[in-house]
Structure 1
Amino acid sequence: MRLSTVILPVRRWSEGGREVWQRAEQLGFHAAYTYDHLSWRSFRDGPWFGAVPTLTAAATATSTLRLGTLVTSPNFRHPVTLAKELISLDDISGGRVTLGIGAGGSGFDASALLREDEEAWKPRERADRFAEFVPLLDRLLTHEVVSHEGAFYSAQEVRNIPGCVQRPRLPFAVAATGPRGLRLAARYGQAWVTTGDPKIADTGTPAESVVAVARQIEALRAACEEAGRDAAELDKIMLTGFTPDRNGPLESLDAFVDFAGAHAELGIDEIVLHWPIPDSDFGTDLKVFERIATEGLARLAAR
């Protein structure tokens, strides 16, 4: 199992932003991700910086840490411009980028670019856009010249030279729980991302959540089988903080080991923890967090 973190882009680079990413590397995290939003939930009225510039800066401040979004969505992104940014970021980082990508939700990102008389996309339309977005992005990152005329996106003789450092392209970590998203993960993903079952996040128990994740993994296996692919080829990533126990895995080293062990048995390969932010939903103890980072996997292996 690998252990990673997600660093919300809420700090000025000159006021602790750089140091957090460097500390993540020092602590031995496999990867450090950030959210690709225009703003997000309780942080909407506070500082919030762009994902790609933040990751670019992090790439120049670190040397071994993998970097990525968790996740990018079509809500305010276009495949053509995103592909160009990703190729640049992959080059600057020396091939250390993973693109976490999902269909997006109904939050601020979904309405920021709309006219006053427009309605936010319904779930079906988000899924429709995602189904076109992912294959087109795959083509843009693997071909030097791409043209496309689709229901939602166009590309006219778009050049992406020299392409990604990582070949044939940087990896996709596809966040999905529904059938259509899982099929995209099975076909285009190098990893699959879950936050657990949102239907039981507020009302379920930790044990019920584990069962729900097991069902999701079985659905992923079925989608992979349908696509003629071995599900073992996909890394399975668990982003914590949204299951019924919320930040419970960060309460102590033992709590983390129990959580990680239960999910390792399901086949989860990577667990992602939110970097602590004081006075927020992620206001966990930094000392406990750092102890988990440095001792958690060893304690898990010794069980």
Structure 2
Amino acid sequence: MRLSTVILPIHRWAEGQQTWRRAEDLGFHAGYTYDHLSWRTFRDGPWFGAIPTLTAAATATTKLRLGTMVTSPNFRHPVTLAKELISLDDVSGGRVTLGIGAGGTGFDATALGQEPWTPRERADRFAEFTALLDRLLTEDAVSHEGVFYSADEARNIPGCVQRPRLPFAVAATGPRGLRLAARYGQAWVTTGDPKLYEAGTPEQSAEALRDQLGRLGAACAEAGRDAADLDRILLTGFTPERTGPLQSVDAFVDFAGRHQELGFTELVVHWPIPDSDFAADQAVFEKIATEAPAQLGYGGQA
């Protein structure tokens, strides 16, 4: 099982770059950041752009994979996003994973002045967005006239360093999103069942995740793919155990081992942020990063 981290873009780069370098030194497989314009309790504080942050991180590291967790259509267009992604993939030497999802409500979902989208419209947009982005990242020139997104001879030469394109990690739990993961994803992302966050039990969460994994398998079978070909990523911190697994190495290994048995191949933990939902002891966090992966059968960043 791989261990990765999410580093929220809340610090000026003079300070933030030290965190990204430290994440690489600790041996994390990947460092992700949220692709939002603002988010939750951080809404009225510093918050920087995901793609510029990841580009800077690419120049500050050499081995750490980099990615969004996750990008959505809320304020992105496939044509401009594709150009930014091939540039980021180039700067990083082919170390980028695009986490991509349908987006949600609140926070920055209406930042461009649009009316809130219904769940169905978010799903419709996500499907068209993902399909067009796949073409833009694999073809030299793309023209497309869609319901929500269009492209007119949009060029992306020379394309991604990674071939045929950089990998997609598709965040989804509903049937339409899971079908997108099965068709376009090289990985699948979940945070668990949000209904269980406040009052659920670890056992209920495990059952919900087992069900999600089963439905992913069914979607892959329908698409003619083996679900084992997809990495299965759990973004932690949103299950009933919350930050409990970060209390000690033993607690984390127990948590990670149970989810490894369910079928997850990568766990993502939030870099500690004092006085927030992601508060954790930094020394314990770093001990987990250096000691837990070996106990879980993972030996390095490659």
For 1:164-175, list aligned pairs within 5 A.
164-175=160-171
TM-score, normalised to structure 1's length?
A: 0.97
In 1, Cα distance between the equivalents of 2:36 and 2:150? 23
Distance 1:5 1:111 in 2: 28
Partner of 1:101: 100
**Is 1:10 aligned with 2:6?**
no
Distance in structure 2 (CA, Å) of the matches to 1:251 and 1:206? 16
199-208 or 237-246, larger mean C-alpha shift: 199-208
Structure 1 vs Structure 2 CA RMSD? 1.0
> How far does the alpha carbon of each residue in 1:243-281 deviate from its partner, in whole angstroms, 9 at most, with x for none?
011111111111101110100001100000000011111
CA distance in 2, matches of 1:199, 1:91: 40
Aligned to 2:253: 257
Question: C-alpha distance in 1, partners of 2:12/2:153?
Answer: 38
CA distance in 1, matches of 2:108, 2:148: 17
> Which residue identity does 2:4 align to in structure 1?
S
Amino acid at match of 2:249: L
Please list every run of 5 or more consecutive structure 2 residues that lacks an aligned counterpart in the other structure: none
How many residue pairs are counted as aligned between the two chains? Answer: 298
Query: For the residues of structure 2 that align with 1:6 and 1:24, how far apart are their CA atoms?
Result: 10
Looking at structure 2, the residues matched to 156 and 300 of structure 1 have their Cα atoms a distance apart, in angstroms, of: 48
The aligned runs of 1:171-210 (5 Å cut-off) are 171-210=167-206
| Residues in 2 aligned to 1:280 and 1:208: alpha-carbon distance in whole angstroms | 26
1:265 maps to amino acid: E
User: What is the match of residue 243 of structure 2?
Assistant: 247
In terms of mean alpha carbon deviation, does 104-113 or 76-85 score higher? 104-113
Correspondence for 2:262 = 266
In the other structure, the counterpart of 2:73 is: 74
SS in 1 for 2:109: helix
Q: Could you say which residue in structure 2 is the equivalent of 1:237?
A: 233
Q: What are the Cα deviations for residues 27-70 of structure 1, in whole angstroms up to 9, with x where unaligned?
A: 00000000000000000000000000000000000000000000
- Give, in whole Å, the separation in 1 of the partners of 2:297 and 2:95: 26
* 1:301, distance to aligned residue in structure 2 (A): 4.2
Deviates more, 1:47-56 or 1:251-260: 251-260
1:224 aligned onto 2:220: yes
Q: Tell me the SS of whatever aligns to 2:68.
A: strand
For 1:261, what is the secondary structure of its paired residue?
helix
Distance (whole Å) between structure 1 residues aligned to residue 199 and residue 117 of structure 2: 27
Q: Which residue is equivalent to 1:281?
A: 277
Map 1:29-178 to 2 at 5 A.
29-114=28-113, 119-178=115-174
5+ residue gaps in structure 1? none
Q: Which runs of 4+ in 1 moved over 3 A?
A: none
SS of the counterpart of 2:18? helix
What code does the residue aligned with 2:189 have? V
1:172 Cα deviation after fit: 0.1
In the aligned structure 1, how far is the partner of 2:168 from the partner of 2:106?
Answer: 23
